[in-house]
Amino acid sequence: MERFSSSTERPPSRVAPGAQIVLLALLLTASALAGCGRMYLDRRPQVRGGVVAAPPVPIQAARTGSLWRDNVSANFPFSDVKARYPGDLITIVVSEDASGSKDAETATKTKTTVTASIAEFFGFPQQLQKHHPNINPNALIAADTDREWDGQGTTNRHGKLSALMSAQVTEVAPNGNLWIEGEKIVSVNHEDQHLVIGGWVRPEDVDAQNQVLSSRVALGRIDFYGIGVVGMKQRPGWGYWLMDLVWPF
């Protein structure tokens, strides 16, 4: 049985392969631009170390479908993979060696001699001698003072700390400086050793291995302390502390 197509029917339209590629590229570009534009919405500045820092860039690639994220260092083929965005990790080379010494010496000496007599004062010395025969008006006041004080003081302090730890970039200042925070806990036999670090780091001070010296950390705070049995034995008891507080000598 023969079938005849109506003259009003049209064959399905076809798009050239080249046009399909161009259309797909335009759609991908628009999607990427839209995703990048939404990444900078709802950002509030924060203050870190006295500097107003740029708020972190949220990771929205998985939620928005954006193919490009400018807050990932690996997306830049012509730059080293170094920490430069919130969430990036950076290695801190802690090398602190500080020492101080101060001497003070003070010596004072004072000697004072005072002698006073009243021969005539409206007859008052004579009246005083009449009632008190032992009083000599010519030697009413005689005082001798000799004071000597010698003080010496010496203070010395030396500290050394070496460690290697990783920290995280939490904020980025408008000038590009990075606010880093990190904490490392090592536990041995129920004794915890805490190493905490924080401060501002210049991107120029981060080397190609993504490391920065602790001496390059501005407004830095490095804490190294222990919590446990050994740490408890390093502190006196509360009774000794109370006695040392109220003891006057």
Q: Are residues 168 and 95 in the same domain?
A: yes
Same domain, 145 and 167: no
Do 169 and 203 belong to one domain? yes
Query: Which of 118, 139, 155 delimits the end of a domain?
Result: 155
Quote the pTM value: 0.52
In sequence order, which residues have a C-beta less than 8 Å from that of residue 125 and are 6 or more positions away?
118, 119, 137, 140
Token couple for 227: 């919590």
User: Do 147 and 181 share a domain, yes or no?
Assistant: no
- For residue 3, tell me if it sits in a domain: no
Asked whether residue 119 is domain-assigned, the answer is yes
Owning domain of residue 115: 104-155
Per-residue model confidence (pLDDT) at position 223: 93
What is the Cα gyration radius of the chain?
41
SS3 61: helix
Q: pLDDT truncated to tens, each residue of the chain (249 aa)?
A: 444 444 444 444 454 555 666 667 677 666 655 444 444 334 445 665 555 555 554 555 455 655 556 666 656 665 667 888 898 999 999 999 888 988 888 888 888 887 777 667 677 777 777 777 777 766 667 778 887 888 888 888 888 999 999 999 999 999 999 999 999 999 888 888 999 999 999 999 999 899 999 999 999 999 998 888 777 777 777 777 787 788 765
| Structural contact between residues 186 and 165, judged by C-beta atoms closer than 8 angstroms | no
- Both tokens of 124, joined, read 């008052």
Q: Mapping DSSP to helix (H, G, I), strand (E, B) and coil, where does residue 204 land?
A: helix
